[in-house]
Amino acid sequence: MSELVIAPEVAAALAEGRPVVALESTIIAHGLPFPANRAIAADLEDAVRSGGAVPATIAIVAGRACIGLESATLDQLAERGRAFAKAGATDLAVHLARGTDAATTVSATAVLAARAGIRVFATGGIGGVHRGDGSDVSHDLVAMARTPIAVISAGAKAILDLPRTLETLETLGVLVLGWRTGELPAFYTRTSGLALEHRVDDIAELAAIARVRFALGQGGILVANPIPAEAALDVATIDAAITEALAAADAQHVTGKRITPFLLARLAEVTGGAAVRANRALALANAQVGAELAAALVDQRATV
């Protein structure tokens, strides 16, 4: 794929068999305002490095799929923000052919990372089935089913229909593993009441399961990592805020790709910034687990 441009640091790590963790760019361009978005971009990469892995933030820049971004490009992504389109996996061909700029969502990041040979991707929360409309399903779920990558996430975004999202993941054949939990996390909170079939407490075992899964050619894994307890929000507070945000979206006829950033911005406003702080904390926790998993995968390859 000629449009795939792998940063020298990332290319060297992959060639030498060192751990690499993919990071999405939508959180930078569309998730947070400037300069908070630039700060989280740096913090996520630092969290991966502190875990002994190389970060590979992914975005489409001038029609090139960039696997790993230079500091100047991260600055541009943060400062220009909404000038970058929001690209899912299905949009990649359009942006690559037209030479346009786009921040990558979970689905696009997963596809491009796997194409580059990266097997671990840390994000905040995945998309899923939207509340009230069972036919409105994020392509994140399909992409994970098809793509050999482990996605570290604090569950699906809490604005979604979590029971139907979990059912859809099962239907599509995505392996869902609870990282030190027996429940699907609910993004801003640690529990959802939705039991998971598989719990994993040891990073070596997590890596072993991932290795076998990828060897079988069965597609992706969702590693559900709850938000740190100290950063979790009160269940009643966040549920009330989500209800208000959904009502506002309905009143303003916000749909499609616009709805998630609209709802997240509304939650930030309604919670007085608490939702943003929680989002930052869970994203950093996922980056740390991602680095641990990537390192464990490399260690196991070395001993085989």
pLDDT tens by residue, 202-223: 999 999 999 999 999 999 999 9
DSSP class per residue in 30-42: IIS-TTHHHHHHH
What average pLDDT does the chain have? 94
Q: Where are the domains of the chain?
A: 4-303
Q: Which residue has the higher pLDDT, 225 or 261?
A: 225
Which two tokens mark 81? 């923000």
C-alpha span between 49 and 93 (Å, rounded): 31
Residue 231 confidence (pLDDT) above 60: yes
Lowest mean pLDDT among 20-29, 236-245, 252-261, 293-302: 252-261
Active site residue 157: yes
What pLDDT is recorded for position 263? 82
pTM: 0.94
pLDDT tens by residue, 105-161: 999 999 999 999 999 999 999 999 988 766 789 999 999 999 999 999 999 988 899
Could you say which of 45, 157, 170, 230 is catalytic? 157
What pLDDT is recorded for position 302? 67
Q: Contact at 8 Å (CB) between 48 and 21?
A: yes
pLDDT, mean of residues 265-292: 93
H-helix or E-strand spanning residue 296: helix 274-303
Residue 261 confidence (pLDDT) above 90: no
pLDDT, mean of residues 288-303: 91
Residue 80 confidence (pLDDT) above 70: yes
- In CATH terms, the superfamily for domain 4-303 is Indigoidine synthase domain (3.40.1790.10)
pLDDT, mean of residues 73-78: 97
C-alpha span between 83 and 77 (Å, rounded): 9
Q: 3-state DSSP: the chain helix, strand, coil percent, rounded to 5?
A: 55, 20, 30
Which among 124, 120, 128, 122 has a CA at the least distance from the CA of 150? 120
Residue 71 confidence (pLDDT) above 90: yes
| pLDDT more than 70, % of the chain | 97
Could you say which of 24, 45, 86, 292 is catalytic? 24
DSSP class per residue in 168-197: HHHHHT-EEEEES-SB--BTTBS--S-B-S
Residue 2 confidence (pLDDT) above 60: no
pLDDT, mean of residues 8-31: 96
